[in-house]
Amino acid sequence: MKQEGKAAVSPVLPVPRTKEEAKRFYDWLSRFYDFITAVFERKYAEMALERLSVKEGEAMLEIGFGSGHCLRQIAQSVGNSGKAYGIDISTGMLEVTKRKLERAQLTDRAELYCGDATSLPYGDNTFDAVFMSFTLELFDTPEIAKVLEEVKRVLKPGGKLAVASMSKEDGESTLLRLYEWVHKKWPKYVDCRPIYVEQSLKDAGYDIESEEKVRLFGLPGEIVIAANAKSR
Ligand SMILES: C[S@@+](CC[C@H](N)C(=O)[O-])C[C@H]1O[C@@H](n2cnc3c(N)ncnc32)[C@H](O)[C@@H]1O
């Protein structure tokens, strides 16, 4: 079933803000984002990363690396023979992550880029794995397919994609409806909104390897691991 098919049941809300607004918001948030994410999402980002089993020598991309907690782990896991790449729209987040990598003496293993992930500045078949935590749900609905198509392009055949995200797959609850109301009222600031993660990946032609449902302070989340099926 396509994401649009599910819209008849419960539509995914739009994200009506410009990229410039997103950049400004995350530049501002970058000063204290490490503390916010430690309380709310980090546990699930780490779970998703663990499911990906990053190996030494791999080339790996994180989209929307934020304050760099997972990117630092990726740089550690890929070792000297691998490389961790990261793209984020916020220069503030890039600076925070750069400092984190410097402190860990991992600068040589990482390459950071500031830009919009709807157009990835990497060649075809570059990465063994791509990682996204609490970032796919920030893209407006038509852009989700675009980002997933770009990820497919840069992934090697059989390469893995891990996504941790807020989710609508688990149906409606009062808390979810309340959260969506807040998002509708202040979409520039409460920008994450629940999406159909597994279904979006299936629609984009990925092979689903695992899907787990989690709870983020009572709100539904999903961790999905998928493989790039383009070799067939
Ligand atoms: C909610 S934060 C999640 C950060 C990190 N992945 C984590 O789990 O802590 C989303 C991140 O995506 C970045 N972002 C937002 N829109 C983006 C876009 N269009 N392209 C690339 N990065 C984007 C933001 O700057 C921010 O760092």
Determine how β-strand 59-63 pairs with β-strand 110-114. Answer: unpaired
Q: How confident is the model at residue 2 (pLDDT cuts 50, 70, 90)?
A: very low
Look at ligand 1, atom 26, and give the residue with the nearest C-alpha.
66
Condensed to tens digits (0 to 9), the pLDDT of residues 163-183 reads: 999 999 877 788 999 999 999
Residue located nearest, by CA, to atom 12 of ligand 1 = 64
C-alpha to C-alpha distance for 45 and 90, rounded to whole angstroms: 19
pLDDT in tens, 61-99: 999 999 999 999 999 999 999 999 999 999 999 999 999
The residue among 40 and 228 whose pLDDT is bigger is 228
Report which ligand 1 atom has the smallest distance to the Cα of 164.
8
Q: Which residues contact 174 (CB under 8 A, 6 or more apart)?
A: none
Decide: 133 and 164 in contact? Cβ < 8 Å: yes
- Widest pairwise Cα distance in the chain: 50
β-pair partners for 90: none
Q: How far apart are CA 121 and CA 77, in angstroms?
A: 23
Find the 181 Cα to ligand 1 centroid distance in Å.
22
The pair of three-digit structure tokens given for residue 179, joined into one six-digit string: 């959260």
Between the CA of 174 and the centroid of ligand 1 the distance, in Å, is 27
d(CA 174, CA 195): 16
State the DSSP code for 86.
Answer: E
> What CATH homologous superfamily does 16-228 map to?
Vaccinia Virus protein VP39 (3.40.50.150)
Helix H segments across the chain? 3-7, 19-29, 33-40, 42-52, 69-78, 91-103, 141-154, 174-185, 197-203
pLDDT in tens, 201-225: 999 999 999 999 999 888 999 999 9
Per-domain residue ranges of the chain = 16-228
51-12-215 Cα angle (round to 5): 40
Across the chain, what does the average pLDDT equal?
Answer: 92
pLDDT (0 to 100) of residue 191:
86
